[in-house]
Chains A and B, each alone.
Chain A
């Protein structure tokens, strides 16, 4: 939550270009070209091009993107460029996405084509190319050689199911440790950062609404019931933000705790997302439940993003399994690990 220059300038960019009109058009299927071009010019897609060292900046940018509900595959392009750099390939121009993004999906190269399953690929239809991760390494399928069954998440963002794909080159090997597992973990951390931003925006919206909306002769924010709920919302939003930022720093600095931290951040942000959405809607009353009001642009993303790149359940099983295997006396050392 430190006010970094990166975050502030990202907030300005997304604030200027991820307007309600742009968001509404995107939900109707219009590609937000001006927004993407600005993001591209700002170099955001390449923050991980030199490795995970850029993760703190990536998280700051994505937190701003989440705050403004930017409807673009920014996290995915960052990941794709990260993989390309690791494989020693020049990424193609334009927005990219990655696959698989679901923990149980697998893609295998068979001859020239790639077979398997990859569901809920973010912006599959809009990406210029898909970075496909297999056990053999990474393959890039240009849009023309990938076919998708269109689908959306709850926020109307494209989450297309990959039906078939072919690459121009065989899979390029990736260094040890850079695999589907890592992509899942980095993607989860990125969603945690996006959710943290969306939650901060929901807190802003809700406190403003509580101060503006007058009932029974006073702003509803004067009622203790509303105050107590908003305090809870603030707590959850703060927890998510701290978790995402702390984990991003751990990953950026390749600390021993980084894998644990990324999983913990996704879990914590996912838990917070549901609570924040609930309270925000409660405070806004009926108007917040309409399509015309802007709250749903945040809450539908919270409801969607918490399920992407592994839900709280997936990551809790992962962390829990490791802690149980390590034994009771390992809990505190793990939690306090650098």
Chain B
């Protein structure tokens, strides 16, 4: 009896037509020179692109229409998102809101919050970042110290959040805060609030990463007033809710495509007359990629069926991240014609991949934490 279940899934025929539409859209965008493919979905963002995507109805795809959604299936959403990621489209601006912030608000938020925020997210106009990590709380999320002190009409937040990707270009952050003492159980007394990043008392400071990008930020909160209406769900239910949010975060197809562009460029450079070791590496990469996609598709199918395959999602994320990290290490040694005058695109995507690779096994749950989750699922903990 297996601890894991990957139900096989077949995409319905309607998805083929949708996939063609998305590919045609991407082709048209590339033809018009609006962006250059970049695999690292968080690094690559464009407010204009998000708006164009929103106009096509490809953000908020599964949400109720009354909130600006399109009531399409999880599988259809899966097709759109995997095509965008494989194409290296600049999805970063709306990605987090679409993937987890809005689903969280849909599941736990108030009607007023849904009415206020979801339509703008679906239009690709409102952007969210993630208010979880703190300088002293990374993998140990329950140890966060940002406190929300009750005041008339709401709370005052004080504390520091860190690693908040693109806080400087976002409107809101769903922020995990401590609203009550732990009283012996660290998971108690936590809550989630929708923090307006432009509220008084919010200071966002850039943290430049080793690739020279401004992606990360530190958000310092100095008695920031958050109205009671901005509480998500129940006070004190923050731990259960954030666990749910993390499941959304880990459930998408972006587990194994961060180094897709280097793979594509390897094939382009190798050509039909490649040396056997290059040919073999390409075949092996393709087999691993195909398998990861099948596993990821299976998870989409289970989500569509209303299940919460958290264990399977952790497993595929870890496997996918390892695959991603291995690609630049392979491509750098096997791609023929490296560092020549005609290798500019190859060298660019390889450089980006090598520099960003460490983050792939850190974000959304480190490798070590994910393997611990899997071990628990195996009955070892």
Q: Chain A residues in contact with chain B, CB under 8 A? A: 1-3, 200, 203, 207, 210-211, 221-222, 224, 226-228, 230-232, 234-235, 238-239, 241-243, 245-246, 249, 260-261, 263-265, 267-268, 271, 312-313, 315-321, 323-325, 327-329, 331-332, 334-336, 338
A226 to B374, CA, bound (A): 12
> Which of A267, A329, A332 is the one whose CB lies under 8 Å from B284?
A267
Q: Are A336 and B287 in contact (CB under 8 A)?
A: no
B199 CB → nearest A CB, Å: 41
A228 to B315, CA, bound (A): 12
B157 CB → nearest A CB, Å: 35
Q: Are B264 and A328 in contact (CB under 8 A)?
A: yes
Scoring B residues 246 to 273 as 1 if CB is less than 8 Å from chain A, else 0, what string do you get? 0000000000000010011101101110
> Which of A210, A230, A264 is the one whose CB lies under 8 Å from B286?
A264
Given contacts A231-B371, A231-B375, A235-B315, contact A324 B274 (CB under 8 A): yes
Q: Are B2 and A235 in contact (CB under 8 A)?
A: no
Point out the residues of chain B lying under 8 angstroms from A265, CB to CB: 287, 291
Given contacts A207-B378, A235-B315, A331-B264, contact A323 B6 (CB under 8 A): no
A329 to B19, CA, bound (A): 16
Q: Are A335 and B289 in contact (CB under 8 A)?
A: yes
Interfacial residues of chain B within 106-162, with CB under 8 A of chain A in the complex: none
A263 to B284, CA, bound (A): 10
Q: Are B294 and A246 in contact (CB under 8 A)?
A: yes
Point out the residues of chain A lying under 8 angstroms from B312, CB to CB: 238
Q: Which 8 A-B pairs have the closest CB atoms?
A: A320-B283, A316-B283, A227-B375, A319-B283, A267-B287, A231-B371, A328-B268, A231-B374
A96 CB → nearest B CB, Å: 30
A212 CB → nearest B CB, Å: 12
User: 9 more A-B contacts (CB under 8 A) besides A320-B282, A327-B268?
Assistant: A1-B5, A221-B375, A239-B291, A242-B291, A260-B290, A321-B283, A324-B282, A328-B264, A331-B267
A231 to B168, CA, bound (A): 37
Q: Are B381 and A312 in contact (CB under 8 A)?
A: no
Point out the residues of chain A lying under 8 angstroms from B372, CB to CB: 224, 227-228, 231
Q: Are B318 and A316 in contact (CB under 8 A)?
A: no
Point out the residues of chain B lying under 8 angstroms from A267, CB to CB: 283-284, 287-288
Q: Are A227 and B276 in contact (CB under 8 A)?
A: no
A192 CB → nearest B CB, Å: 11
Interface size on B, residues (CB 8 A): 57
Scoring B283, B295, B312, B319 by chain A CB atoms within 10 A of each residue's CB, the highest score goes to B283
Point out the residues of chain B lying under 8 angstroms from A324, CB to CB: 267, 270-272, 274, 279, 282
Q: Are A264 and B82 in contact (CB under 8 A)?
A: no
A264 to B375, CA, bound (A): 27
At the interface, yes or no: B280 with Cβ under 8 Å from chain A? yes
> Which of A261, A323, A327 is the one whose CB lies under 8 Å from B283?
A323
Q: Are B368 and A228 in contact (CB under 8 A)?
A: yes
> Which of B3, B8, B86, B375 is the one whose CB lies under 8 Å from A245?
B8
B380 CB → nearest A CB, Å: 4
Residue of B nearest to A333 (CB): B23
- Please name 14 pairs of A and B residues whose Cβ atoms are closer than 8 Å in the assembled complex, sorted by A: A3-B5, A203-B378, A207-B378, A221-B375, A232-B371, A242-B298, A246-B291, A313-B280, A316-B284, A319-B282, A320-B279, A321-B279, A327-B267, A328-B265
B83 CB → nearest A CB, Å: 8
Q: Are A238 and B4 in contact (CB under 8 A)?
A: yes
A156 to B72, CA, bound (A): 54
> Which of B19, B287, B288, B371 is the one whose CB lies under 8 Å from A315?
B287
Point out the residues of chain A lying under 8 angstroms from B264, CB to CB: 328-329, 331-332
A315 to B282, CA, bound (A): 11
A239 to B19, CA, bound (A): 25
At the interface, yes or no: B21 with Cβ under 8 Å from chain A? no
A255 to B3, CA, bound (A): 30
Q: Are A227 and B371 in contact (CB under 8 A)?
A: yes
Residue of B nearest to A236 (CB): B319
Given contacts A235-B318, A323-B286, A324-B274, contact A230 B279 (CB under 8 A): no
A101 CB → nearest B CB, Å: 21
At the interface, yes or no: B281 with Cβ under 8 Å from chain A? yes
> Which of A230, A317, A331, A338 is the one whose CB lies under 8 Å from B280?
A317
Scoring B19, B284, B290 by chain A CB atoms within 10 A of each residue's CB, the highest score goes to B290
Given contacts A227-B380, A242-B294, contact A336 B375 (CB under 8 A): no
Point out the residues of chain A lying under 8 angstroms from B298, CB to CB: 242
B378 CB → nearest A CB, Å: 5
Point out the residues of chain B lying under 8 angstroms from A320, CB to CB: 274, 278-284, 286
Given contacts A239-B295, A246-B8, contact A200 B2 (CB under 8 A): yes
Given contacts A221-B380, A320-B282, A325-B272, contact A332 B86 (CB under 8 A): yes
Given contacts A227-B372, A234-B378, A317-B280, contact A268 B288 (CB under 8 A): yes
Residue of A nearest to B294 (CB): A246
Q: Are A317 and B6 in contact (CB under 8 A)?
A: no
At the interface, yes or no: B293 with Cβ under 8 Å from chain A? yes
